Amino acid sequence: PSMDHLQNKDDATNLNQNNNKKRDRINFTYIQLRILEIMFHKSTYLSKSQRNTLALQLQLTEKQIKVWFQNRRMKLKRKKPPSTSTPPTSNTK
């Protein structure tokens, strides 16, 4: 019997393993973070052209800028207290 199907299966497994590797964490410089924070305080969302311009200025990729803004919005959301909910009441006497 032919072993071709086994070789192809191994190739597919190796390809999947290569695609599943985590990327290295990016350490932004102090200046990059300051500029990102300034831009975030101006607007919590950037257009694609704004992201591209900022990426060129900071020597980062557009995807890195996009992910930083996503993470920063989530950080803001976690810190912001819920405005519509009422404080819990105790039923003890």
Render pLDDT for 37-48 as a digit per residue (tens, 0 to 9).
Answer: 999 999 999 999
Is 72 within the bounds of a domain? yes
Is 86 within the bounds of a domain? no
What distance in Å separates the CA atoms of residue 79 and residue 73, rounded to the nearest whole number? 10
62 and 51 in contact (C-beta within 8 Å)?
Answer: yes
Q: Is the pTM of this model over 0.85?
A: no
**Residue 29: its pLDDT value, please?**
97
Is 61 within the bounds of a domain? yes
Number of domains making up the chain: 1
Residue 6 has pLDDT above 90, yes or no: no
What distance in Å separates the CA atoms of residue 51 and residue 69, rounded to the nearest whole number? 10
Is 20 within the bounds of a domain? no
The position carrying tokens 């071709």 is 4
The pair of three-digit structure tokens given for residue 93, joined into one six-digit string: 């006497």
Q: What is the mean pLDDT of residues 55-72?
A: 98
